[in-house]
Amino acid sequence: MGFIKEFKDFAVKGNVLDLAVGVVIGGAFNAIIKSLVDDVITPAILTPALKAANLSDLAQLTIPGTAIKYGNFLSQVISFIIVALTLFLVIKGINRIKKKEEAAAPAEPSSTDKLLMEIRDNLNKR
């Protein structure tokens, strides 16, 4: 019974649930970024370069005589950069909010300070 209880405690911890939610949201975010790169960035920015190379799709960019598709690689690099930049901006914003909350909350006196204040108050009463 100890193993099952330990597993249950592990599975319902907040960190595991947060991780699961993060993975699901990350999967959805990946689909959005893939669509952004494939449907917006590639046609808008890379179309002139593809037309100059007489290609209609980024996946057709290959090294002649090989199976190396560097066009797909470029697409994945663009996707990675967008995801990394977006996550950086989100984390930066969250950290800024946390710093403001920490600065707004006054520090509570330590136990020693509380004891000294009680002694002071008792001495003032005399």
Give residue 1's pLDDT: 64
CA atoms within 13 A on the CB side of 52: 5
pTM over 0.75: no
Q: How many domains does the chain have?
A: 1
* 119 assigned to some structural domain: no
* 47 assigned to some structural domain: yes
CATH of the domain at 27: 1.10.1200
User: What average pLDDT does this structure show over 105-111?
Assistant: 77
* 88 assigned to some structural domain: yes
* 120 assigned to some structural domain: no
* 117 assigned to some structural domain: no
55: how many CB neighbours lie within 10 A of its CB? Answer: 16
Higher per-residue confidence, 62 vs 1: 62
Is it the case that residue 14 has pLDDT exceeding 70? no
* 118 assigned to some structural domain: no
User: What average pLDDT does this structure show over 100-126?
Assistant: 82
* 46 assigned to some structural domain: yes
In this prediction, residue 105 has a pLDDT band, given cuts at 50, 70 and 90, of: low
Note the Cα 83 to chain centre separation in Å. Answer: 8
In this prediction, residue 22 has a pLDDT band, given cuts at 50, 70 and 90, of: confident
* 124 assigned to some structural domain: no
* Domain extent for 42: 2-104
Structure tokens at 35: 């669509």
pLDDT (tens digit, 9 = 90+) per residue, 50-93?
788 777 777 777 788 887 878 878 878 888 888 888 888 888 98
b/e per residue 80-111 (b: at least 16 CB within 10 A): eebbeeeeeeeeeeeeeeeeeeeeeeeeeeee
